[in-house]
Amino acid sequence: MKNLSSYGGWAVVTGASSGIGLAFARRCAADGLNVVLAARSADRLRALGRELSNVDHRVVPVDLSRPDGAADLLSATADLDVGVLVSNAGNGTPGRFLDQEPDDLRQRLTLNTVTHLELAHAFGRRFVQRGGGAIVLVSALGAIHGLPNMAHESASKAYVLNLGEALHHELAASGVKVTVMLPGNVDTPIIDRFGVDRARLPISPFPAGKAVDQTIHALLTGRATIIPDRRMRAATRLTPRGVSIRMNGRMLAAASANLARHKTPAHEGAD
């Protein structure tokens, strides 16, 4: 199978307004799938829909950090023959765990875990009933260990990783493919929002489109997980766990300090 078109008429992509979600929406359209574009920013979604002129699209402005956000999206897609789910929406705020407010942490927990749970469960059932489908859950490379100064996000993304890896095996016999994407150095707006000096990154940012292509290839060839970019895969394999934790913790501490100076909220895939 060379593309996603055989899974159904429609793909649902969350966090589609920017970054990885935007790249997934473009790839689904290139494969001939009609696309449901879900995110908070209706204007950005409408602009993307005009770009994807070769397929039909449906714009669903939705805040998936709200407790009923996933239910709203499911209701808005109930009439469509959805065969592909890309559950990508998420956000993150670097900083010390105890310096953040519980209400903010709970809201991000809803987006980073509960939304993936509810969408994977609902669409998973639909896909099993229709005899096939494909699910991509977007986690993060930080899910493989705890990240100082982003403890909440690394913990919540670990849920997505373990959920998807288990569903890869559970749903295989029903004709449903599941792959978890673990982006690390993917080039998205979050790099600049964090104020990270791109020239000082140990591995240069990897284009989001190429990361999505590698993820789709992993999905179609039956892989449970994928770290885009062979350089990042090698670095992850070779870097001792403790070294990676300390190195990433220092980088995120610097990002937190930069955000505090500029008082800039950091969201990825939720706009």
User: Is pLDDT of 83 > 50?
Assistant: yes
User: Is pLDDT of 24 > 60?
Assistant: yes
pLDDT bucket at 268, cuts 50 / 70 / 90: very low
User: Is pLDDT of 2 > 60?
Assistant: yes
User: Which residues constitute the domain of residue 201?
Assistant: 5-268
Q: What is the mean pLDDT of residues 72-94?
A: 95
Among 43-47, 77-81, 86-90, 254-258, the least confident range? 254-258
* Predicted pLDDT of residue 267: 45
Q: What is the pLDDT of residues 227-246, one digit of tens each?
A: 999 999 999 999 898 998 88
The total of structural domains in the chain comes to 1
Rounded Cα–Cα distance for residues 64 and 74 (Å): 11
Q: Which residues contact 240 (CB under 8 A, 6 or more apart)?
A: none
* Predicted pLDDT of residue 263: 66
Please state, rounded to an integer, the average pLDDT across all residues of the chain.
Answer: 91
Q: Which residues contact 43 (CB under 8 A, 6 or more apart)?
A: none
* 68 DSSP 8-state letter: T
Structure-block tokens of residue 67: 């407790």
User: Is pLDDT of 80 > 70?
Assistant: yes
CA-nearest of 81, 16, 28 to 54 is 28
CATH of the domain at 69: 3.40.50.720
pLDDT bucket at 1, cuts 50 / 70 / 90: low
User: Is pLDDT of 140 > 50?
Assistant: yes
* Predicted pLDDT of residue 20: 97
Beta bridge partners of 267: 91
pLDDT bucket at 30, cuts 50 / 70 / 90: very high
* Predicted pLDDT of residue 180: 98
